A and B are shown apart, each in its own frame.
Chain A
């Protein structure tokens, strides 16, 4: 294989932050889809997660543009693309789809929590009362008629939210899939692959967040809910991995001129992250473990453990998938005669430490949000009194919030 790369390809310009961007956006879309399974499709076994999944989506949504902005360097220039968008550039789409989706998620969260917010505002004192009063936007009518309207609005918003979530992440896939000069990116399947892996990562994330939050609250996990997540994770993982493999198989069978480069990329340049982490740890092992997690002959503890391990592996696998797409695509020179080199950095811009910081931010936001807006629905056990504690540790009168 001759080695020749164009001079402007020596440096890999899109680093780890651009890997995080589709990853975090995918987690948002996936978590939102889980909440919609309950709010739109009435999957009642997911009720314990119906609120948690929504505010998880929201917490990650707040951080989704951050890696992009940090990569950009000049934060406020990000608005320019929204102020003067152009139909010939899909990049402007993100600003609008993101903003629309953020407003939609905020509205849905607000309507779901409105009854609780009004309740908190009425039972708390001082600063907390003012805070919840502002949060209620002055809409304090919680009569059955008003709540009924809220439920209808939530259903409509959730229904609009599903295509929006698909658009949000499909868009990210579209951006990569439409780069016709790059053989590893250019495929119309890319939006679908991104979307399915987004759903996969979102479900996996919720499994882990559910485990950790139950552990922190010293509560048992709701097994039917976990098994439902297990089933959805398996189905979507199967679909996502089949499409990913089909894409590579198709490229290999066609054996067009760029196939040699793609094969070299997968076998020589990124074999550890692609064959090992993405396909091995992220797909193969979870696909085997997840059905065992649903096997009724095993004890509940082992089934939980298998599901949680699979969730963790899938999360890492999807991160590796984003890495393989974003970085892998840039390693192939446009000359189709050589590979660029990716250098791992630790502290500097787009290094590992800043990336881990950005990855941990949504979790920090989430841990703050669950204190302001407790999402605990309690599957079989019902809401717990202790869970209704404001950030200021003022115990509130628990309200039977079994509804949406």
Chain B
């Protein structure tokens, strides 16, 4: 340790050089991590991972094509009934869930739908930001007393089981 006498110390021992090298090292580590972390296809099409597009395309379809035309080919009567009532804007799969498997093999795949308060409450539960004028909302627990909504309401024609429209 040559304290204080090193007037002609080599440049590589200068404080500025050592500090500079340390900072460059940190930047290099950052650059290496960045190189390792950013996916190769990032920016291929835009500000996202390009491979993401092909990955989505290659995924198996779970939903049938939107609109109810596919469903109404076989379930014409129900589709007709629904189109007359309040839920006519809904897609069948909104309540019945993804149906592509059923479309492909109708005999093997029979998706069940739970007509309970949890499912119906998705739209019909009372919320601060949702007024009754916009959508019929109830306190689901109190309203049904634990019964399934479908005991009184037919989802395809919500008021048909209880004597028609109530307002």
**Chain A interface residues (CB < 8 Å from chain B):** 4-10, 79-80, 82-84, 86, 103, 107, 110-111, 114, 118-119, 121-122, 137-143, 145-146, 149-150, 153
Contact = CB atoms under 8 A, between A and B. Distances in A.
Nearest to B39: A84
B40 interface: no
A122 B1 contact: yes
Interface stretch (B7-15, B101-109, B152-160): B7-15
Nearest to B34: A83
A243 B23 CA distance: 39
B19 interface: yes
Contacts of A9: 129
B9 A146 contact: yes
10 contacts: A4-B129, A7-B127, A83-B34, A86-B47, A114-B15, A138-B13, A139-B15, A141-B13, A142-B3, A142-B4
Interface string B26-45: 10000001100110001000
Given A10-B128, A83-B37, A146-B9, A140 B47 contact: no
Given A79-B37, A103-B23, A143-B6, 8 more contacts: A9-B129, A107-B23, A111-B15, A111-B19, A122-B3, A137-B19, A140-B1, A143-B7
A70 B6 CA distance: 48
Given A4-B129, A7-B127, A84-B38, A140 B6 contact: yes
A146 B14 contact: yes
Contacts of A80: 37
Contact of A141 (B9, B26, B127, B130): B9
A119 B4 CA distance: 10
B38 A83 contact: yes
A7 B47 contact: no
Please give me the 5 A-B residue pairs with the lowest Cβ-Cβ distance, nearest first. A7-B129, A139-B15, A139-B18, A137-B18, A141-B9
Contact of A79 (B23, B33, B129): B33
Contacts of A103: 23, 26
Contacts of A143: 4-7, 9
Most chain B beta-carbon neighbours within 10 Å: one of A86, A121, A139: A139
Q: Is the interface of A mostly helix, strand, loop or mixed?
A: helix
A137 B23 CA distance: 12
Contacts of B16: 149, 153
Contacts of A84: 38, 42, 47
Nearest to A145: B7
A111 B22 CA distance: 13
B26 A138 contact: no
Given A146-B9, A149-B16, A140 B2 contact: yes
Nearest to A333: B129
B22 A137 contact: yes
Nearest to A142: B4
Contacts of B42: 84
Contacts of B5: 143
A114 B3 CA distance: 12
Contacts of B127: 7
A149 B3 CA distance: 16
A7 B130 contact: yes
Given A103-B26, A121-B1, A139 B38 contact: no
Nearest to B23: A103
A149 B17 CA distance: 12
